[in-house]
């Protein structure tokens, strides 16, 4: 393996969070971004099925993660624990915020049909959403958006990884669909 790839491997092994391309590139200022990309690709293909861990693109960065098939065994031995699952209410709120960001609490409440203040406070606490700006409307409401932590717990590379709304089986139709023959 190239020296640069080995350097990246060491850094990714040492870090306990995803490292971004810029962070990895800062390890060796003489190497260009292109070389770092190439080294990452080489590293990823080096960690093939022969290894228990794989190099994953996640949360706008790179991280070594264990392969899925070992999850149960590792967890049974209590070497690592799965994070607690998010409640349906939390996932609903996250979905709305991820797709509508920046979005205020009122809009989330309206789409869900229930008060979402407590859920949103919890999500802020867990670092999955954050206040990104203030709205123009009355009282300049706080508007929320998703954080890198959101991408991390879902294993997403970036927001582009989310399914496109057109791909969903229920596409948002016109507000007057009643006359359309089904």
Rank residues 39 and 98 by Cβ distance to another protein and give the closer one.
98
State yes or no: residue 43 binds another protein (CB under 8 A): no
CA 108 to chain centre: 20
- CA dist 151 and 146 (Å) reads 8
Q: Tell me the helix, strand and coil percentages in the chain, rounded to 5.
A: 45, 15, 40
Of residues 154 through 173, those in contact with another protein by CB under 8 A are: 154-156, 162-163, 165, 168-173
* Ordered DSSP codes for 134-158: E-SSTT--EEEEE-HHHHHHHT-SS
- Spell out, one character per residue from 82 to 121, where the chain touches another protein: x when CB under 8 A holds, - when not: xx-xx-xx-xx-xxx-xx-----------xxxxx------
- Taking the least distance from each CB to another protein, the nearer of 18 and 36 is 18
Give me the residues paired with residue 131 across strands. 144
Task: Point out which residues bind another protein (CB under 8 A).
Answer: 13, 15-17, 56, 63-68, 71, 74, 80, 82-83, 85-86, 88-89, 91-92, 94-96, 98-99, 111-115, 152-156, 162-163, 165, 168-173, 175-178, 180, 182
């Amino acid at each position: 393996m190239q020296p640069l790839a080995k350097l990246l491997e060491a850094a990714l092994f040492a870090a306990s969070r995803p490292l971004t391309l810029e962070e990895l590139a800062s390890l060796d200022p003489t190497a260009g971004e292109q070389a770092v990309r190439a080294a990452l690709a080489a590293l990823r293909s080096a960690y093939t099925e022969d290894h228990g861990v794989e190099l994953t693109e996640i949360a706008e960065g790179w991280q070594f993660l264990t392969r899925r098939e070992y999850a149960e065994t590792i967890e049974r031995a209590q070497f690592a624990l799965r994070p607690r699952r998010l409640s349906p209410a939390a996932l609903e709120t996250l979905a709305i915020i991820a797709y509508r960001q920046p979005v205020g609490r009122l809009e989330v409440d309206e789409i869900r049909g229930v008060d979402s203040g407590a859920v949103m406070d919890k999500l802020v606490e867990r670092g999955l959403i954050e206040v990104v700006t203030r709205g123009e409307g009355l009282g300049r409401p706080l508007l929320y958006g998703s954080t890198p932590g959101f991408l991390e717990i879902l294993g997403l590379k970036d927001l582009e990884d989310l399914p496109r709304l057109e791909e969903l089986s229920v596409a948002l139709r016109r507000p007057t669909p009643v006359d359309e023959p089904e």
